[in-house]
Amino acid sequence: AQSGRRPLIVDAGANIGASSLYFAMTYPGSHVIAIEPESNNFALLSENMRGLPVQCVRAAVSSQPGRTQLVDPGLGY
């Protein structure tokens, strides 16, 4: 960037990383953070982003601080 700062891209709900990969390839030099709370998706996300300039974080985005629990209602992934 002209200001000397590095652009930040946050992929909230990154799933397995398709959008994160797109952002990293389309905007080289940016800092991409991929946020995914579901453990199986996060494992695939981490594997898919290996070697790429993407920071993977297992978390969720909320309007309040704290912890949460994901529940599968049985409708699939």
Q: Which residues pair with 10 in a beta bridge?
A: 33
How far, CA to CA in Å, does 49 sit from each of 7, 19, 44?
19, 11, 8
At 74 the pLDDT is 81
- What average pLDDT does this structure show over 59-73? 90
pTM: 0.86
Q: How far apart are CA 23 and CA 33, in angstroms?
A: 10
Predicted confidence (pLDDT) at residue 3 exceeds the cutoff of 80:
no
Summarize pLDDT for 11-48 with one digit per residue, the tens.
999 999 999 999 999 999 999 999 999 999 999 999 99
The tokens describing 35, both together, are: 């946020």
